[in-house]
Amino acid sequence: EAAVAVVEVGSAQQFEELLRLKTKSLLVVHFWAPWAPQCVQMNDVMAELAKEHPHVSFVKLEAEAVPEVSEKYEISSVPTFLFFKNSQKVDRLDGAHAPELTKKVQRHVSSGAFPPSTNEHLKEDLSLRLKKLTHAAPCMLFMKGTPQEPRCGFSKQMVEILHKHNIQFSSFDIFSDEEVRQGLKTYSNWPTYPQLYVSGELIGGLDIIKELEASEELDTICPKAPKLEERLKVLTNKASVMLFMKGNKQEAKCGFSKQILEILNSTGVEYETFDILEDEEVRQGLKTFSNWPTYPQLYVRGDLVGGLDIVKELKDNGELLPILKGEN
């Protein structure tokens, strides 16, 4: 019996038959596609789980080859795992989350029967968790997948709109947590994803965001990421004397930066430094902002004085100190 590997199901009829036959045990069905590498990987995980749990039936079903079954259970992406007991669907997991799949199998095996979630205490905890999640950032997006790898077209479009408007947001992958995925629909009284929240309040799904974009209200509702130019203005004015360099006061990371530090230290004037090696955006942006291609760059009261050569020259002419003190 232990040698039974993952069963491949090729038709709706075969699937129905399996549901009827396997009423006593847990049945785990992997809706997969041969073109998706993460599915192939999850098939290996299933094979391992099948060895560990000889009394659980593991089945793989090619989602696009058996569309009747996929449509019936609303399979919209692969991999998706459904759990059946007594011919009833008792659980679901979307995405290639191997640890989560292992956990769910263990939970269903040990629980004998899946406890109904009428437990008030559980509901209480969930609604508290959802409240925290929706308030986790000023702008929160609940989506399928991640901004880097959206796993549905609507989530992808939503991320594109937010990026286009330079809106700063955090996101939550609902595929990683079935409890949140189901709970949030009730919590917000909104049945689909993606969902966008601002200050913990639901704004809506993709259609509403598109409408807000068209009416130009989106920019007033969502918090913006500070634009690079504004950031550079703030940075160059952070101290009355600001040095943008490679490294910092304690350790210069290039000869020119080291020389300019020695000159500044010899004047006794207070100054602050910014390490451009730590921030690629500032490093590139400042060249354009100040129209100066190299580092170090010295600013006094937000105005560029220049690089090492100019600072050397000013020092030799005796003009450096008055400039640093803002007397010029």
Q: Which of 208, 198, 202, 112 is nearest to 158 (CA)?
A: 208
Is 292 within 8 Å of 253 (Cβ atoms)?
no
- Could you tell me the CATH superfamily of domain 229-325? Glutaredoxin (3.40.30.10)
pLDDT for 117 equals: 45
Listed by start position, the domains of the chain span 7-110, 121-221, 229-325
> Rounded CA gap, 146 and 200, in Å?
20
121-221: same fold as 7-110?
Answer: yes
List pLDDT tens digits, range 170-209: 999 998 888 899 999 999 999 999 999 998 999 999 999 9
Q: With respect to CATH, is domain 121-221 assigned 3.10.520.10?
A: no
Whole-Å CA distances, 117 to 122, 181, 186, 321: 7, 15, 14, 73
What's the confidence (pLDDT) of residue 111?
65
Share of the chain above pLDDT 70, in %: 94
Coil vs helix vs strand at 143: strand
Q: Write the pLDDT tens digit of every residue in 46-69.
A: 998 998 888 899 999 999 999 999
Q: pLDDT (tens digit, 9 = 90+) per residue, 3-27?
A: 457 889 999 999 998 888 877 778 9
Q: Report whether pLDDT(116) > 70.
A: no
The SS3 of residue 163 is helix
Res. 224: pLDDT tops 80: no
CATH of domain 7-110: 3.40.30.10
* Cα(303)–Cα(51) distance, integer angstroms: 69
Q: What is the pLDDT of residues 279-327, one digit of tens each?
A: 888 998 999 899 999 999 999 999 999 999 999 999 999 999 999 998 7
Token pair for 324: 């640093």
Residue 83 CB burial class (10 angstroms; 0-12, 13-18, ≥19): buried
Q: Give the contacts of 297 (CB within 8 A, at least 6 positions apart).
A: 243, 244, 245, 286, 290, 304, 306, 307
164 CB-near residues (< 8 Å, 6+ apart): none
pLDDT > 80? residue 118? no
The predicted pLDDT at position 112 comes to 53
Residue type, 20: R
How far apart (Å, rounded) are the C-alpha atoms in residues 50 and 57? 7
Is the pTM above the cut of 0.75?
A: no
The amino acid occupying position 313 is: E
275 — pLDDT class (breaks 50, 70, 90): very high
pLDDT at 60: 93
Q: What is the mean pLDDT of residues 123-148?
A: 87
| pLDDT at residue 123 is higher than 80 | no
Mean of pLDDT over the chain: 88
